[in-house]
Amino acid sequence: MSRRALTLIVAGFLTLTLAVGGAMLPVPYVVLSPGPTENTLGDIKGKPVINVQGRETFATTGTLSLVTVAYQGGPGNRIGLLTALRGWFDSTIAVVPEETIFPREQSVKEVEEQNTAEMAGSQDTATAAALNQLKVSIEDVVKVSSVDKGTPADGKLLPGDMIVAVDGTPTADPDSVVTAVQKHKPGDKIVFTVDGRSAKTDVPVVAAAAKDGKAVVGVRMGMSYKFPFKVDFSVGDVGGPSAGLMFSLGIYDKLTPGPLTGGKAIAGTGTMKPDGEVGPIGGIEQKMVGARKAGATIFLTPEQNCAAAVGAVPDGLRLVKVQTLDGAIKALDALRTGSGAVPACS
């Protein structure tokens, strides 16, 4: 073999090696793709996605599916350059900078915990919106969102506890709980009256000292709601607040006679406020693809997401613009009966 031929072979081998190595090189991007859909009127592993106890429910048909976005990559599990390049050429996939999903000031665990907390919050808010729509009275309460490990409240106050009083004085909001705690000195016993367990319970906690010397127990709180009956959710490994609209519609459908869907396969997305306002979400393109793959023909789209959705809607999927829960219900009524206006994204 001539020296020139040998040189070309070696150079080609090195080029190929570098190309393969470059393709495997981790890059700080995340691939977003269509995730699973779940019918809020159905079951997951034998458990109802929405389970109402203590109130009459009605049989229904069709689907009201929440949609999700799956991700690949992130700190500690970065994708290779080749995976990112493939994503850039696939219209159903988005490749975004890592910090879009995982802010630099947060760990992966913290992001996942935040998503879990947002999902739990969206379920409470969706329930409140549905019951407000049905004119069912609900009560605002202070709810424990998390308890710091190693603090006095650890193992005593629990996430989901509703703090209805401190030392016998009713609580109006989280600030009132903080004020009641800080009336004490470190080492004092503070009695929290909590609801949301099998029965209303008094829980004594001995306060510790914060860095500023004030009394602290190590509990984080937010405003939530006390409902006149129980609504449980089973959604598997899904996080974030974007299923709020579909949760509210699922609850409303179960609590009202007749199928809201008219038997149609409907999917949608949108955050939900207690007053019924629907808010925008991320990943609309991937969510539409997931909905269509699951058989949906109608997609409830937050008004603020319409512009992006119109340019990427899959064939066979009709976009219905929604601004409020009431508006979504009226649009579904119009679709079912064939009469009335159905707002469209344009």
DSSP string, 220-282: EEEEEEE-SSEEEE---S--SSTTHHHHHHHHHHHTSSS-TTTT-EEEE--EE-TT-BEE--S
**pLDDT tens across 73-115, in order?**
888 778 877 777 787 788 888 888 888 887 877 777 777 777 7
User: Are the C-beta atoms of residues 49 and 235 closer than 8 Å to each other?
Assistant: yes
Say whether pLDDT at 6 is over 90: no
What's the CATH fold of domain 30-68+121-134+229-337?
Ribosomal Protein S5; domain 2 (3.30.230)
- The pLDDT value recorded for residue 2 is 54
Domain boundaries, given as residue ranges, for the chain: 30-68+121-134+229-337, 139-226
The reply to whether CATH 2.30.42.10 applies to domain 139-226 is: yes
pLDDT higher than 50, residue 12: no
Predicted pLDDT of residue 152: 96
Taking the model in full, what pTM does it have?
A: 0.82
- Summary mean pLDDT of the chain: 89
pLDDT at 322 over 60: yes
Q: Write the CB contacts of 51 (distance below 8 Å, at least 6 apart in sequence).
A: 231, 232, 233, 234
Q: What contacts 126, CB < 8 A, 6 or more positions away?
A: 243, 244, 245, 247, 248, 251, 272
Burial per residue of 157-180, b for 16 or more beta-carbon CB atoms within 10 angstroms, e otherwise: bbeebbbbbbeeeebeebebbbeb
Confidence of residue 243 (pLDDT cuts 50, 70, 90): very high
Q: By mean pLDDT, which of 4-8, 61-65, 152-156, 206-210 is the weakest?
A: 4-8
Q: What is the pLDDT of residue 19?
A: 42
The pLDDT of 138-153, averaged and rounded, is 92
Catalytic residues: 242, 287
Instruction: Answer whether 156's CB lies under 8 Å from 203's CB.
Output: yes
